[in-house]
């Protein structure tokens, strides 16, 4: 069945043709949802049609309204307010919707086809010198969610990760472990691999700061002291050895990175995210160096007297950008050039989305300009999804480093908070220990994911763990509990035939159906704007309206069997939409709570 906005558009065109003998372009038929303070469901803007009717706005609206209601069983009434024709959708249409496409498991989803746009989404992009932190959580949740939403919107999506596994930051952890590790491993220490390597990165930074302060105290300028600190010179030398493939340095690098990857994998599994392909900077930087050197040969780039290679972006309103250091080692931009080229060669994308915080806005602008300067036409297909920073309320859950909120610690805290609040509210009574653990995990992770994804990605946000697990607010647990309530109703109605009966729908039932009717548009808009918060807040509004309906009307004890059958079908469809929408955000919904 056609959607009602399409039906209204066709009927309006028919009316203009039959009433006034004119053919009206589709863009002149403007349809919008009727504002809440007026009666009706959809509003047709009359003003663009006055040239066809030759009448006043009120006369034009009334003639159109009478014609459209008389010629479509999908419309039951109209009202003209100045130049706006408010149309009421008929019971017949809403019943057909409820008993038709809305009942299908993938309602609102578009199927991926060979003609679908090809999209690559890069997210996570961790460094192998420390564990994932709160910022990575927002990054991973956004990247994974928009990937699922775009796929639901009909795109072919490939999810990729770029592991920053080389560079001076890696050498810092390696050097510190050599100096002070004493052979410590994740097995010998009982410390998760990424946390163990992060521990030595912190030790390096502490030693480096002491050396810098000592040099400053001796009368050296701070910048000179930072450059001349012995431990930093050792780290730079280790990086040169790594790029020259020194066997000892490479062996240590592989061993310590292996610890980190094992730790990352545990965190990713817990977050519920996965990737189709993982790229490593240690491999892609080579392609980048080749491309940069070729650009140098062709005169697109230039070399300074110290041997470093640069791009001149002054014509684009920017400055000069370093691409290779004087010692020949690469910078981040170099490997990003190589990675982008490799990815397009393997998967000719229509769009490449980088999910990276807004502190990197300049970097991605420069990346696109450099690729374009190097002659890659697909550089215009790169898009930076620039998201705001996320913090915790001051003083809450400081990490062991004292500055960064660790992802694993945060997830532990979420599950602990979910357990304590659920027990306090009596929501875990009668469950086995295994069921309690499962529910607390689902509620804790659902609270974390929903609270982060309900905020527009472009905005900075503060994450409050306790507030996120409120069972009564705009939270994941509120929506999860609504779903569990729905499943409880359905379990009690196993022998009831769920179908639309002959009785008229009441106002609340129509409101719920209208909201469900909007779900495909919400998916489309969320996919187009890369904004999961549209789905999150839609699900909250739907859950809130359902709970009001549940409070006001009996479902299993309705006045007639027709009404019971209709309401149960509506309840089932609401639950299905909640489940589908939460899945698009990577959130599980418990069958029982």
pLDDT, average across residues 14-23: 96
The token pair that represents 284 in the structure block: 């892609």
**How does pLDDT run across 134-189, given as a tens digit for each residue?**
999 999 999 999 999 999 999 999 999 999 998 899 999 999 999 999 999 999 99
Q: What architecture is domain 407-584? A: Orthogonal Bundle (1.10)
| Strand partners for 160 | 122, 277
The confidence score (pLDDT) of residue 27 equals 77
> Rounded CA gap, 453 and 293, in Å?
42
Q: What is the 3-state secondary structure (H, E, C) of 208-264?
A: HHHHHHHHHHCCCCHHHHHHHCHHHHHHHHHHHHHHCCCHHHHHHHHHHHHHHHHHH
Q: Which CATH number applies to 4-89? A: 3.30.1360.70
Kindly give the interhelix angle for 533-552 and 507-517, rounded to the nearest 10 degrees. Answer: 160
Summarised one tens digit per residue, pLDDT across range 196-237 is 999 999 999 999 999 999 999 999 999 999 999 999 999 999
**Two tokens, residue 360:** 């990197």
Q: What is the pTM of this model?
A: 0.92
* Contact residues for 403 (Cβ-Cβ < 8 A; gap 6+): none
Q: Kindly indicate the confidence band of residue 421, based on its pLDDT and cuts at 50, 70 and 90.
A: confident
**pLDDT tens readout for residues 42-101:** 999 999 999 999 999 999 999 999 999 999 999 999 999 999 999 999 999 999 999 998
The answer, yes or no, to whether residue 399 has pLDDT greater than 50, is no
Average pLDDT, integer, range 268-296? 95
Query: 534 pairs with which residues across the strands?
Result: none
Q: 423 by DSSP, 3-state: which?
A: helix
Give the C-alpha separation, 113 to 100, whole Å: 24
Tokens of 517: 């009717």
Would you kindly state where each structural domain of the chain is located, as residue ranges? Answer: 4-89, 164-275, 407-584
Residue 438 has pLDDT above 80, yes or no: yes
What is the spatial order of strands in the sheet that 351-357 belongs to?
Answer: 277-280, 156-163, 118-122, 351-357, 382-387
C-alpha 366, offset from chain centre: 24
DSSP for 516-553 reads HHTHHHHHHHHHHHT-THHHHHHHHHHHHHHHHHHHHS
Query: Phi, psi at residue 32, to the nearest 5°?
Result: -145, 165
Region 6-30 average pLDDT: 92
Tokens 């309602």 sit on residue? 107
Whether the per-residue pLDDT at 403 is higher than 70: the answer is: no
Residue 508 confidence (pLDDT) above 90 = yes
pLDDT at 405: 83
Residue 1 binned pLDDT confidence (cut-offs 50, 70, 90):
low
> Taking the CA atoms of the chain, what radius of gyration do you get in angstroms?
30
Nearest Cα residue to 417 out of 467, 352, 345, 355: 467
């Amino acid at each position: 069945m056609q959607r009602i906005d399409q039906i209204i558009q066709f009927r309006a065109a028919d009316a203009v043709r039959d009433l006034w003998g004119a053919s009206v372009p589709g863009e002149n038929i403007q349809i919008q949802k009727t504002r809440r303070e007026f009666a009706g469901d959809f509003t047709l803007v009359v003003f663009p049609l006055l040239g066809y009717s030759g009448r006043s706005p009120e006369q034009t609206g009334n003639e159109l309204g009478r014609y459209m209601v008389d010629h479509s069983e999908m419309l039951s009434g109209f009202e003209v307010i100045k130049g706006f024709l408010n149309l009421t959708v008929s019971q017949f249409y809403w019943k057909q919707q409820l008993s038709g496409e809305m009942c299908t498991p993938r309602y609102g989803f578009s199927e991926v086809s060979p003609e679908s746009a090809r999209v690559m989404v890069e997210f996570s992009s961790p460094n192998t010198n420390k564990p994932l932190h709160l910022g990575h959580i927002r990054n991973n949740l956004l990247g994974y969610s928009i990937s699922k939403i775009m796929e639901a919107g009909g795109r072919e999506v490939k999810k990729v990760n770029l592991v920053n596994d080389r560079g001076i930051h890696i050498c810092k952890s390696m050097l510190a472990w050599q100096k002070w590790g004493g052979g410590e491993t994740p097995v010998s220490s009982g410390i998760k691999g990424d946390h163990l390597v992060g521990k030595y990165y912190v030790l390096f930074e502490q030693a480096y700061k002491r050396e810098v302060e000592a040099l400053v105290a001796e009368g050296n300028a701070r910048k000179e002291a930072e450059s001349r600190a012995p431990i930093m010179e050792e780290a730079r030398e280790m990086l040169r050895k790594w790029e020259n493939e020194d066997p000892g340095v490479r062996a240590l690098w592989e061993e310590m990175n292996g610890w980190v990857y094992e730790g990352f994998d545990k965190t990713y599994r817990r977050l519920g995210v996965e990737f189709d392909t993982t790229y490593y900077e240690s491999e892609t930087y080579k392609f980048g160096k080749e491309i940069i050197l070729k650009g140098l040969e062709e005169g697109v780039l230039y070399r300074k007297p110290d041997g470093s290679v640069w791009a001149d972006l002054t014509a684009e309103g920017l400055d000069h950008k370093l691409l290779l250091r004087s010692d020949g080692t690469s910078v981040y931009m170099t490997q990003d050039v190589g990675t982008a080229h490799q990815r397009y060669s393997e998967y000719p994308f229509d769009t490449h989305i980088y999910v990276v915080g807004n502190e990197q806005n300049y970097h991605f602008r420069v990346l696109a300009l450099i690729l374009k300067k190097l002659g890659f036409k697909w550089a215009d297909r790169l898009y930076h999804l620039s998201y705001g920073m996320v913090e915790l309320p001051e003083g809450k859950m400081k990490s062991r480093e004292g500055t960064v909120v660790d992802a694993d610690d945060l997830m532990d805290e979420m599950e602990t908070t979910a357990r304590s609040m659920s027990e306090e509210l009596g929501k875990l009574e009668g469950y086995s220990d295994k069921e309690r653990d499962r529910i607390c995990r689902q509620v804790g992770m659902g609270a974390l994911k929903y609270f982060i994804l309900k905020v527009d990605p472009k905005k900075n946000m503060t994450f409050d763990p306790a507030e996120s697990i409120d069972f009564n607010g705009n939270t994941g647990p509120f929506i999860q509990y609504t779903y569990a309530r729905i499943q409880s109703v359905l379990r009690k109605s196993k022998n009831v035939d769920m179908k639309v009966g002959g009785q008229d729908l009441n106002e609340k039932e129509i409101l719920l159906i209208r909201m469900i009717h909007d779900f495909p548009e919400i998916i489309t808009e969320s996919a187009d704007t890369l904004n999961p918060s549209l789905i999150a807040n839609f699900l909250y509004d739907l859950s809130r309206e359902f709970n009001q309906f549940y409070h006001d009307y009996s479902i299993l004890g309705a006045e007639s069997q027709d009404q019971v059958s209709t309401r149960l079908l509506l309840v089932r469809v609401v639950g299905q939409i909640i489940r589908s929408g939460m899945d698009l955000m990577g959130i599980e919904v418990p069958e029982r709570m």
